[in-house]
Amino acid sequence: MITLSHYLILSLILFSIGIAGVLLRRNIIIVLMSLELMFNSINISLAAFSHFLQSMTGRIFVVFTITVAAAEVAVGLAILVAVYRQRKTVYIEELDEMKH
């Protein structure tokens, strides 16, 4: 029997992997992908709550999140492409313009 806890633990594991990816990886594409992983782990927990609590709110929320995440990824990748054209690099530690 799969309970709510199983879903939540799965969500937690995926979220932690996502955080680790965002914080530790050098390649900015991987960082973006890790970000998506975090989004979707949240989506899992929302859907699970929706199912177990017999409420539609969570499912509607998931649809919204996916939509927004899609738009966000589009913008993020576009910026990434622009940065790459400018700098010829995708390594995040070389993009330290904020210091200067």
Partner 1 sequence: MVSWLILFIPLIAAVLITFVTRKQKDLSSYVSIGAVVLCFILSIDPILTLLKDPHMKPVEQGFSWINIPGLHVEIGTLLDPLSILMLFVVTFVGSLIHIYSRGYMHGEHGYSRFFACMSLFIFSMLGIVLANNFIQIYIFWELVGLSSYLLIGYYFEKPSASDAAKKAFLVNRVGDFGFILGIFVLFQATGTFNFIEINHILEKGGIPESTIYIAALLIFCGAIGKSAQFPLHVWLPDAMEGPTPVSALIHAATMVAAGVYLLARTSLLYHFSPDAMEVVAYIGGFTALLAAVIAVAQNDIKRVIAYSTLSSLGYMVMAMGVGGMTAGMFYLTTHAFFKALLFLAAGSVIHALHTQDIWEMGDVFKKLKTTGTTFILGSLAMAGVFPFSGFWSKDEILTIAFTSHHYFLFTIGILVAFVSAFFMTRLVFVTFFGKGRYHGHPHESPSVMTVPLVILAFFAVVAGFAGMPWIEPNFGSYIAGPLHGGHGEHGFNLFVAGLSTAVVIAGIALGYIVYCKELKSDPLAKNVLYNLAHNKFYFDEFYDNIIVAKVYNGIGRICNFAEVNFIIIFFVNGFAYLTRETGKVLRLTTTGKLQHYALVMVAGVVVLVLFFGVL
Q: Give CA–CA dist 16/58, Å, rounded.
A: 22
- Asked if 24 interacts with partner 1 (CB under 8 A), we say yes
Which helix (H) or strand (E) is 78 found in, with range? helix 57-87
Q: Which of 8, 10, 22, 47 binds partner 1 (CB under 8 A)?
A: 22
Minimal distance in Å, beta carbon 20 to partner 1? Answer: 10
Q: Give CA–CA dist 89/14, Å, rounded.
A: 28
Among the candidate windows 21-29, 39-47, 53-61, 64-72, which touches partner 1 by CB under 8 A? 21-29
Q: How far is CA 5 from CA 2, 12, 58, in A?
A: 8, 10, 17
User: Which residue number, 23 or 56, has a Cβ lying nearer to partner 1?
Assistant: 23
- Asked if 95 interacts with partner 1 (CB under 8 A), we say yes
- Asked if 85 interacts with partner 1 (CB under 8 A), we say no
Q: In angstroms, what is the C-alpha Rg of the chain?
A: 17
Chain residues binding partner 1 by CB under 8 A are 19, 22-24, 92-93, 95-100
